[in-house]
Amino acid sequence: MSHEGGQPPVVETHDLRKVYSPGTEAEVIALRGVNLRIERGEFVAIMGPSGSGKSTLMNMIGCLDTPSSGTYACDGVDVSTLDAEDLAALRRDKIGFVFQGFNLLPRMSALENVAMPMAYTRVPYQERRERAQAALSAVGLGERASHRPNELSGGQQQRVAIARALINHPPILLADEPTGALDSKTGEEILALFNRLSEEQHTVVLITHDAHVAAHAHRVYVMHDGGLHEGSHEDLRA
């Protein structure tokens, strides 16, 4: 693929399909030919009802699962050409995950949680701590580095999870219902943080069933029964 000197899209899928348990009675077509193109620095929301295929698509974008057919190029790399080791490296270098339940390790401090993804890199110990401290400061938690998750509010825990997702400077931040467990004011703070990250050329892909949350993104897609459709902000008010 040539991109005439420009950067390739961060996410580019062609006719992506996912069929669970094909050929059996339990067969589910979870993705039906999804075409998605996301450029660097975009903040995109994917919404849709329960069971429409949002998490399945997030797992494909995050290289946690492989499609039944179709192609996916992550930051210009066709992921079907990679073996398991290369895929793990691509996940580590290109993608930061923010999960709904925060997934923080309870016995570790905020700083240690944020430093975790550097465990499998060559970054020296002192630099890991400095980078983790800087990442916490960037999400407004510089003063809370030594706190454990249970000593932090829900919104602060979610911000620790975001700092952790960003620590290896991945171009893509994938967030599945990141505000689902938060009150609306704390949720607004997280969404403002995503907006700021996209201004700093991070690509943010936000999965949500909530139209008010999706309305914060620059661009909205809607999933229905495995199909992805470009939505408008007008759809969100309906």
Ligand X SMILES: Nc1ncnc2c1ncn2[C@@H]1O[C@H](COP(=O)(O)OP(=O)(O)OP(=O)(O)O)[C@@H](O)[C@H]1O
By CB under 6 A, name the binding residues for ligand X: 20-21, 28, 30, 48, 50-56, 209
Which C-beta is closer to Mg ion: that of 55 or that of 203? 55
What does 20 interact with, of Mg ion, ligand X, none (CB < 5 to 8 A by kind)? ligand X
Task: Fill in the DSSP letter of residue 126.
Answer: H
Which C-beta is closer to ligand X: that of 54 or that of 131? 54
Distance CA 13, CA 33 (A): 9
Q: SS3 string of 144-198?
A: HCCCCHHHCCHHHHHHHHHHHHHCCCCCEEEEECCCCCCCHHHHHHHHHHHHHHH
Which C-beta is closer to ligand X: that of 20 or that of 99? 20
What does 129 interact with, of ligand X, Mg ion, none (CB < 5 to 8 A by kind)? none
Tokens 């943080």 sit on residue? 193
Distance CA 85, CA 97 (A): 19
What does 123 interact with, of Mg ion, ligand X, none (CB < 5 to 8 A by kind)? none
What does 24 interact with, of ligand X, Mg ion, none (CB < 5 to 8 A by kind)? none
Provide the minimum distance between the beta carbon of 31 and ligand X in the complex, in angstroms, as a whole number.
8
Provide the minimum distance between the beta carbon of 159 and ligand X in the complex, in angstroms, as a whole number.
23
Task: Report whether 74 contacts 91 (CB < 8 A).
Answer: no
Distance CA 205, CA 116 (A): 22
Residue 148 CB-density burial (10 A; 0-12 exposed, 13-18 middle, 19+ buried): middle
| Chain residues that interact with Mg ion, rule: CB under 5 A | 55
Which C-beta is closer to ligand X: that of 14 or that of 209? 209
Provide the minimum distance between the beta carbon of 53 and ligand X in the complex, in angstroms, as a whole number.
4
Provide the minimum distance between the beta carbon of 17 and ligand X in the complex, in angstroms, as a whole number.
12
In the complex, which residue's CB is closest to Mg ion?
Answer: 55
Q: DSSP letters along 24-77, please?
A: STT-EEEEEEEEEEE-TT-EEEEE--TTSSHHHHHHHHTTSS--SEEEEEETTE
Provide the minimum distance between the beta carbon of 204 and Mg ion in the complex, in angstroms, as a whole number.
17
Which C-beta is closer to Mg ion: that of 111 or that of 221? 221
